[in-house]
A and B are shown apart, each in its own frame.
Chain A
């Protein structure tokens, strides 16, 4: 284990990238659209994020809210076509990534920013041994020879707690359990000791007990390497323990950002409020779980005004006609994109003790 550390420390030292003031990533006003035959889907409409060293940022949202697309745009692995980054900037250690050549970006992917995906079985190549796939990182980026790369792969597999790593280095992905496969993905992602790790729904496909183990491993690795971690999830339960900050996305926009504790105490955006109301809680037996009525909007036809207005119980005329305000500070360290954020906050604080008030279906209570 200490071998791994010393080796990767050296690797980190080779990196020509150093963050200023600990700021690793700066995403500003990112715009992504998908040009399909059914029209142009505006998947991301001006997302701004930042990530510091050793920090965990959770990006939360329903499927289709644009959280995975944001991650892929940061990585530069959007499928183009149909996906196009149409505006904004992504800076890594102060350097703009979006204007780089593909070749320059490849040198960042893996050594600096790396990513793990939801479904490790389909994300690993079925016809190559897992050790080979991990070693490939070192062979391609570091020019390591076959046996050194293999040894490094075994050490990495040991580091992510795969039992019998040396014996299983030549096994194929389908021969591992789901949790072990995700560990292999993680080993591959940290092989070059990146500064940023993006985890796109890393535990969604796993059993609850395994979920906890994987999250613990990620937290441990992050601590050990002072990585910035972006954790993309739709599962509020996963977020609470590990995240420092939370960004909530809806219809390709950030609707609220805050640190973990204040968001749980009192959400400032009606959407976040709805999300929290739908968590099962041990202290409220026998009550029906609240669900947010309606569906997220079709991204090719985002309704005028605030995209959440058809599902929102606070919606007024202004929400149906005018775009929502930009993220604005509603409390120190808390930003929300809602005209009525103060009302929501006040309600949230009050209703924290009487959550059943939240159960009204927004779709019906409108007007």
Chain B
């Protein structure tokens, strides 16, 4: 396989292709007639996924960025077009390329107006997200980071539910506000780089070398953290998420949950920890972040459990899952970080699948309220089976992807902060507390509504969406080692970088309590 990849020079062009081909696809969709928009969009993104699969073989389990390239973009300001992939971003990239075609496939029946615009925006979104995950230049990163807002805003605002405008504006303002502060911090970093290194630069590798005092780090950390925390979202900045999820059309929810939230946690891992290591290890900061993570896990689980709207319930579970990620990241251990990355992947698949399934139910019954369903397992047994498997993966049943990540994240957190991890482990109970009643009320019990009797089971197209997702959930749950081996070197070097770069100041905090 890798020989074949060598022959076609895969490593030289793949990252550029990943970023720009969706944009080309967008042009194609806009150019071709409306009837063909969805098929073109699907096949285009599916082909892109096939292309991206080569990364699995082309990527070597080694630290540092691979397939990296850098070209000056705005030389006067030291802005470069720099791309690269490492063990932290590779699975985010693959998750994105995998989820996009699935989400597009999931919108075939759902999206009935302005189809060209919709599919064009989906592809634009893919460009934005892949750009975020692949950028090595902070300016470029910021451009892509903001670029993702635009298509998502329209997807929610145009194709969404009844309160779509409210949800879209809330989503846009909330996330834009957070990232503006990050822009200021990026500019500050640029000028500090100019002072310290002689030439201003936005390049990640250069900025890593900029010496910063603890005070500076804390400020910059706060600015970055705010931008990412809104995106994640970390409690208490999460309230845009349930609204956005409920109002977004199915594919929007899928992408939002699977990929967009990951940009926040990815930002934590990629930028917050290595750029501001002293701040990230500052005991009050660590305590705060861990506490927010733990509160998120428990709080969101409790709030989720009493939601009457199934989509909102799943939206809150995202907050709880992201709590595990935050916990794993700020544990600053190998196990914790790897666990966090795995939760990100696993959550992307399982929650994405849950939203797809809820979308299918919405298409059938035009309601999202749990109480309107009931007894569906009798009329749609395959759908019920898929839902149960996905729900179990979501609540972290061993043998599914959810468990591996949560277990590692909790274990890693326990190594340095046993009390936080101990409390967070209670989330395992409350996961069952929110998920099982929903499953029961929708799929078990009597078929009390006559409308539910006519609900058809999954179609072939829907099987084509669900089967790969379920297969991935189980595969990652049973055999995650290939993923973990690819992540490990990057995570390892990240952890040692963070631990090494503690300032020698007397107030230097030690890792852990």
The answer on A and B forming one complex is no
Task: Enumerate chain B interface residues (CB-CB to A < 8 A).
Answer: none
Task: Enumerate chain A interface residues (CB-CB to B < 8 A).
Answer: none
